[in-house]
Amino acid sequence: MVHVLNRKIPATMATQHPDNAFKPYWSTKPFISTSKEVEECYRSYSDLGCQEYMWDWEGKFVDEAVVDRLYQKYYDYFSRHQLGRDKFLTFRVPNIQREGQARLARAFAGILSAAYTAHELKLHTPPLFEVIHPMTTSAQELITLQRKFNETAQFQQKILESKHLKPEHLDIIPLIEGTGTLLKSRRILEKYVDFMEKMNGKRPRMIRPFIARSDPALDGGFLAAVLSAKAALSEYFHFQKDTGIKVKPIIGAGSLRFRGGLSPQTIDEFIATYPGVSTVTLQSSFRYDHPLEEVKKAVAKLNRRLGNVDPVLLTAKEMQQIARLDAIFVKYYRKTIEGLEGFINQMARFIPARRERMQHTGHFGYSRQVGKAGLNLPRAITFTAIFYSLGLPPELIGMGRGLRASRQAGLLGPLEKLYPELREAIVGVGRYFNRENLEILSRRFPLFKFVKTGVQYIESYLGEKLGPREPEDFIHRNYTSNVLQNWLRERSPEEDIVKSAQIRRSLG
């Protein structure tokens, strides 16, 4: 691979996920245009102390000259904090099977031309050498990506008449997004390592597998996403133990628990839930929906602590229990969501945009089959924003019936052992529950009756009622009541959607 094992492993990766409720501290409005993302990248490094930035080519518009612009505008900074050595810029390229090949070719060109620019400026080269491959479901996708890049690099060397420009190969970060795929994702690493050994004559010394949290939750519900992430972490460290290849796992987490639960206030809980993680994503809400000094301290804390907590290795029996629990919670979650597709898409048009997205290519896109029919749902951030804006945290969907079924199957004890923070998480999301809205929706949409009975099971499990606790929670409830009432009266609820998001400090 390109870099040796003693390279710096970044702990904090700023991303372009559009989940901020407030405007960035450096901007006059919450919408961040493509033209502003170069500045955002620089500020993530220089102002906040983030060590890595994800440059996202998947499903959005992108400035293809990012490295040239960074060097041109901020040369003094990058001469002291060099890309590829001290700070890291990592492309999330389009999925090799699901988006057009032209965008992938343009991303390759950007990586290779950045190496040429750095070489000419006598800066560290290559500045870019890793890519994130989204929605990875098989090793073959990674193999095809590697082959295509190698062919492109050889062609560029001929054009530039240089045999010394790097990289010739990519360090590929497989981003794995479905709960079922996460449970078996060790196989992807094993097959990919075998290919790289045949291609280079030696195995890679290190891999950074990337565990998604948003799309598994959108796909199978909150608890299935948590458990599958824990299982994947364990499998990666078993892989390290068996092969000697170091793993440095990444988790992609939003601020709200449905999408990962990482905010400046929840760092300790997050690390306890996912021990062994080396890198976390700091999405827009983490960086922009909290006081700036608080964000800086949180980033510094993550930079100190990540990579220093021992992982939890699960037994074969515990992996079997997770597979059974996954099936239970996915079933009850999907039964509800599949019948609410129309309602969800009606509400989606009121969630304000925060980035320049292309036509939807999210997890339920590409005619993804969920249950008996493929669902066309909005992206995870919009989906999460819809339910939180109604006072119905999506963590609750399918959870109550899943807890009841787990108890009946003798799996409630194992669940609590596998996820000791479960009660704390439920109480935390329950603060945003609006009981009156659920009553109204249950009368209009029969499937919300399942959510209602599910909440009853959850409250029985907790031994206490869900609902607002702090003064701000009651204000949040009032805004969510306004959202539903405006929607019922065919008025735009967008203003109250934003106000409720600002209270919980995340759009979705």
- Whole-prediction pTM: 0.94
The pLDDT value recorded for residue 1 is 41
Nearest CA-CA partner of 36 in 24, 49, 51, 46? 24
Burial class (CB in 10 A: 0-12, 13-18, 19+), 241: exposed
Element (H, E) at 174: strand 171-176
> In angstroms, rounded to a whole number, what is the distance separating the alpha carbons of residues 481 and 232?
39
* 17 contact partners, CB below 8 Å, separation of at least 6: 214, 254, 281, 283, 284, 381
3-state secondary structure 94-156: CCCCCCCHHHHHHHHHHHHHHHHHHHHCCCCCCCCCEEEECCCCCHHHHHHHHHHHHHHHHHH
The pLDDT value recorded for residue 364 is 40
Q: How far is CA 425 from CA 176, 260, 270, 396, in A?
A: 24, 11, 10, 11
The pLDDT value recorded for residue 245 is 96
> In angstroms, rounded to a whole number, what is the distance separating the alpha carbons of residues 217 and 326?
11
Burial class (CB in 10 A: 0-12, 13-18, 19+), 344: middle
Please report, in tens digits, the pLDDT of each residue of the chain (508 residues total): 444 457 899 999 999 999 999 999 999 999 999 999 999 999 999 999 999 999 999 878 899 999 999 999 999 999 999 999 999 999 999 988 876 678 888 899 999 999 989 999 999 999 999 999 999 999 999 999 999 998 888 877 666 666 656 788 899 999 999 888 999 999 999 999 999 888 888 889 999 999 999 999 999 999 999 999 999 999 999 999 999 999 999 999 999 999 999 999 999 999 999 999 999 999 999 999 999 999 999 999 999 999 999 999 999 999 999 999 999 999 999 999 999 999 999 999 999 999 987 644 444 433 333 444 567 889 999 999 999 999 999 999 999 999 999 999 999 999 999 999 999 999 999 999 999 999 999 999 999 999 999 999 999 999 999 999 999 999 999 999 999 999 999 999 999 999 999 999 999 9
Beta bridge partners of 173: 132
Q: How far is CA 328 from CA 146, 332, 504, in A?
A: 37, 7, 30
Neighbours of 472 (CB within 10 A): 13
- At 135, the amino acid letter reads M
> In angstroms, rounded to a whole number, what is the distance separating the alpha carbons of residues 160 and 118?
14
The pLDDT value recorded for residue 383 is 97
Q: Which two tokens stand for residue 218?
A: 């959108």
- DSSP-assigned states of every residue in 178-203: -HHHHHTTHHHHHHHHHHHHHHHSS-
Q: What angle (nearest 5°) sits at the alpha carbon of residue 291, between those of residues 295 and 73?
A: 65
> In angstroms, rounded to a whole number, what is the distance separating the alpha carbons of residues 470 and 431?
8
Provide the 3-class DSSP secondary structure of residue 49.
coil
The pLDDT value recorded for residue 163 is 60
- Structurally, what CATH architecture does the domain formed by 12-305 represent? Alpha-Beta Barrel (3.20)
- DSSP-assigned states of every residue in 274-304: STT--EEEE-HHHHHSS-HHHHHHHHHHHHH
Show me where the domains of the chain are located: 12-305, 317-504
The pLDDT value recorded for residue 361 is 41
- At 43, the amino acid letter reads R
Q: How far is CA 71 from CA 14, 82, 106, 373, in A?
A: 19, 10, 19, 48
Please count the CA atoms within 13 angstroms of the CA of 56 that sit on its side-chain side: 23
* 486 contact partners, CB below 8 Å, separation of at least 6: 492, 493, 496
Calculate the CA dihedral of residues 15, 17, 22, 25 and round it to 10 degrees: 20
3-state secondary structure 200-213: HCCCCCEECCEEEC
> In angstroms, rounded to a whole number, what is the distance separating the alpha carbons of residues 108 and 105?
5
Q: How far is CA 353 from CA 337, 471, 494, 504, in A?
A: 23, 28, 11, 18
Q: What angle (nearest 5°) sits at the alpha carbon of residue 25, between those of residues 23 and 29?
A: 30
Q: For strand 373-374 and strand 369-370, is the pairing parallel, antiparallel, or unpaired?
A: antiparallel
> In angstroms, rounded to a whole number, what is the distance separating the alpha carbons of residues 154 and 203?
21
The pLDDT value recorded for residue 161 is 64
